[in-house]
Amino acid sequence: MYFLGIDTSTTSSKALLIDESGAVVAVASSPHTLQTPRPLWSEQNPLEWWGAVSASIQSVLEKAGVGGEAVSAIGLTGQMHGLVLLDETGNVLRPAILWNDQRTQSQCDEIHARIGKEKFIQITGNVALTGFTAPKILWVAQHEPEVYAQAKHVLLPKDYIRYKLTGEYAMDKADGAGTVLFDLRVRDWSDEVLAALDIPREWMPPTFEGCQFTGRVSLEAAALTGLKAGTPVAAGGGDQAAQAVGVGAVEPGIVGLTVGTSGVIFATTPSALIEPEGRLHAFCHAVPGMWHFMGVMLSAAGSLQWYRDTLAPGFSFDELLKEAETVPAGSEGLQFLPYLSGERTPYPDPLARGAFIGLTLRHGRGHMTRAVLEGVAFGLKDSFTLIQQAGLGTITQVRASGGGTKGALWRQILASVLEAELVTVNTAEGAAFGAALLAGVGFGAWADVPTACRAAVKITGSTQPEASQIQAYRQAYALYGELYPALKASFGKMGALD
């Protein structure tokens, strides 16, 4: 008995096979290309996703040495927020507009104007941002009316893969909430928001909880992939919700922390909690009947990568971190703002800039390295603090993943800054692994998602806050919080000079 997780990310499509114990048996990946036809645009061809998925499924079955009949169920995940428009017969009308596309600021402003910003937050749990799906639909209506006139179906990237696998139009509730066309509390499409934006209700697919089955592999898809026709396909979840399942962040009090190029704080909530100003994303979880908060910073491990490549290109990361170990907590007053790509949480500001602040003659390379690590930790604490203030309650454990959490020094800094236990787990495949677990729950291999996570996700290490560092970091974080408000106007002027 095997379960297949498929992750259609921005860079590749991954297929991952697990057995009934939750152990990973084989993994395969096929790359995607990215098109940027104009400044701020980011697009992909959905047919390329399907080709990559088909190749990855064939490869993972070959690596595992099994046939498609061995796969009991399939779970789907992928990049969130991307717009896939299909016509009446299921043909793709234009390239998919992706999560990182920035062309829709005027449409975001229009959404707030039509509905009212505060009311929109209370319905959807979010402010309208350029990354989300709703403003992309408005952009197509306004700039490509000939395409809009042919549209009959709105899907997200992984749901296009579902359509190609099964012939069914469907979406999970976690990814659906990420379109910001959802009524967060109802866990389904908001008729009020759809009507205000002139989006036909019949364009939106039915929505399902993450482990519910939404269709079965068709004969055509079976012939292309090597899967068995009739294999059930679970709803799955957007990549962040599936990643949370993959590390076991599926119950209140357990927070997921991802330190990749960007950084994410993910917290399960038992009800539809909303941050009043929309500074946190509030979406449905892939866990049935649960919701989550999410805070996103745009340059986490990406800040360290930029620092090494730009200021210390001859050094390995290990060499730089060893120097930083000799520097006391707080970097002797040196601060780093990690806004190298603008910022998202808690400051949705594309003009925000990175900065070293407080340099003196006594500061050396070790201080600068440690300041980068601490600045990223403070940026993540911004989201962590908002989650605590928004009513989540006690946070008992932080489950860390991503390349930035591999180093002991950064894990220690994060634990001390967040003042919480930081643990690592045995699963490194994230979203695809979570999607496979959701499929297993749908098939009945585990009673529910928390049970599946307890069976398959094991803690491999723990880092406790360092008592001697906590006060120093509280003081440094308070100062960090003063810097962006003080520099916001200057950042805007710098943007005008570019």
Domain ranges for the chain, please list them.
Answer: 2-235, 248-498
239 is catalytic: yes
What pLDDT, on the 0 to 100 scale, is given for residue 181? 98
The model's pTM is 0.92
CA–chain centroid gap for 427, Å, is 17
Quick one: pLDDT at residue 435? 98
Are 214 and 235 a contacting pair, CB within 8 Å? yes
Phi (first) and psi of residue 387, to 5 degrees: -65, -45
Instruction: Determine which helix (DSSP H) or strand (DSSP E) holds 297, and give its type and residue range.
Output: strand 291-297
251-286 burial, b for 16+ CB within 10 Å, e for fewer? bbebbbbbbebbbbbbbbbeebbbbeebbbbbbbbb
pLDDT score of 280: 94
Is residue 345 within 8 Å of residue 386, measured between CB atoms? yes
Looking at residue 390, what is its pLDDT?
85
* Angle, CA of 331, 333 and 336, to the nearest 5°: 70
| Same fold across 2-235 and 248-498 | yes
Q: How many CB atoms lie within 10 A of CB 442?
A: 27
Start-to-end CA distance of the chain, whole Å, equals: 57
What tens-digit pLDDT sequence spans the chain (498 residues)? 999 999 999 999 999 999 999 999 999 999 999 999 998 899 999 999 999 999 999 999 999 999 999 999 999 999 999 999 999 999 999 999 999 888 999 999 999 999 999 999 999 999 999 889 999 999 999 999 999 999 999 999 999 999 999 999 999 999 999 999 999 999 999 999 999 999 999 999 999 999 999 999 999 999 999 999 999 999 999 999 999 999 999 988 899 999 988 899 999 999 999 999 999 999 999 999 999 999 999 899 999 999 999 999 999 999 999 999 999 999 999 999 999 988 989 998 888 999 999 999 999 999 999 999 999 999 999 999 999 888 777 788 899 988 889 899 999 999 999 999 999 998 877 899 999 999 999 999 999 999 999 999 999 999 999 999 999 999 999 999 999 999 999 999 998 886
Give the per-residue pLDDT at 252.
86
CATH tag for 2-235 (out of 2.40.280.10, 3.20.20.10, 3.30.420.40, 3.40.50.10480): 3.30.420.40
The active-site residue, picked from 188, 239, 349, 498, is: 239
Contact 156, 238 (CB under 8 A): yes
pLDDT recorded at residue 119: 98
Look at residue 394 in the predicted model and tell me its pLDDT. Answer: 76
Domain 248-498 has CATH 3.30.420.40: yes
Which residues lie closer than 8 Å to 382 by C-beta, 6 or more apart? 295, 297, 345, 346, 481
Which residues lie closer than 8 Å to 451 by C-beta, 6 or more apart? Answer: 441
